[in-house]
Amino acid sequence: MRCPFCGHEDTQVKDSRPTEDASAIRRRRHCPDCGARFTTFERVQLRELTVIKSDGKRQPFERDKLMRSMQIALQKRAVDQERLERIVNGIVRRLESTGEAEIQSKVIGEMVMDALSTLDPVAYIRFASVYRNFREASDFGEFVGQLGGEPEEG
């Protein structure tokens, strides 16, 4: 592992242990060249996943992209970062355990919607507005009405 401070190629592992949720291995490292100490996290990847977008294009699954999209929805909301990490890890594990190498983007979107619906209602609505492509204020009203169990006005 390369030192992020001086670029030295051969750093030493001083301590290695699983994270609390066992989704990664936390390693404390030391650079013999500059003396810096830093932490790395290594995740086990069960299989390479490919996302099939709604237009048919294929792209590699990116855990960081999933995390960023949820962080955007949760911006300025009181949700612990560790809790978000556990939720993202759970979604990734569920995707990897399907046995499929290719996953429809719609499946990922629905998993995120399910997770956000129980985590934070505002983040759920924010994510839904992009995911479901709301075009007008009335789209929001209908969606929020369905959440509250209120009848839709028409």
Q: How far is CA 146 from CA 21, 119, 120, 135, 149, in A?
A: 34, 18, 16, 17, 5
100 in Cβ contact with 108 (< 8 Å): no
Same domain membership, residue 95 and residue 75: yes
Same domain membership, residue 68 and residue 86: yes
Q: What is the dihedral of CA 97, 115, 127, 47, to 10 degrees?
A: -10
Same domain membership, residue 28 and residue 99: no
Whether residue 153 lies inside any domain: the answer is no
| Residue 151 pLDDT | 45
Whether residue 134 lies inside any domain: the answer is yes
Whether residue 1 lies inside any domain: the answer is no
User: What does the DSSP 8-state code read for residue 117?
Assistant: H
Alpha-carbon span 49 to 63, nearest angstrom: 10
Whether residue 29 lies inside any domain: the answer is yes
Strand partners, 59: 51
Strand partners, 103: 51
81: containing domain: 50-145
| Residue 22 pLDDT | 76
Extract long-range pairs of 81-85: CB within 8 Å, 24+ residues apart: 82/20, 83/119, 85/21, 85/23
Same domain membership, residue 67 and residue 93: yes
Question: What's the structural domain count of the chain?
Answer: 2
As averages over each run of 10 residues, the pLDDT of the chain (154 residues) reads: 93 91 87 95 79 95 94 93 91 90 94 93 86 67 65 46
| Residue 83 pLDDT | 92
Same domain membership, residue 87 and residue 21: no
E strand map for 48-128: 50-52, 58-60, 102-104
Whether residue 154 lies inside any domain: the answer is no
Write down the pTM of the prediction. Answer: 0.66
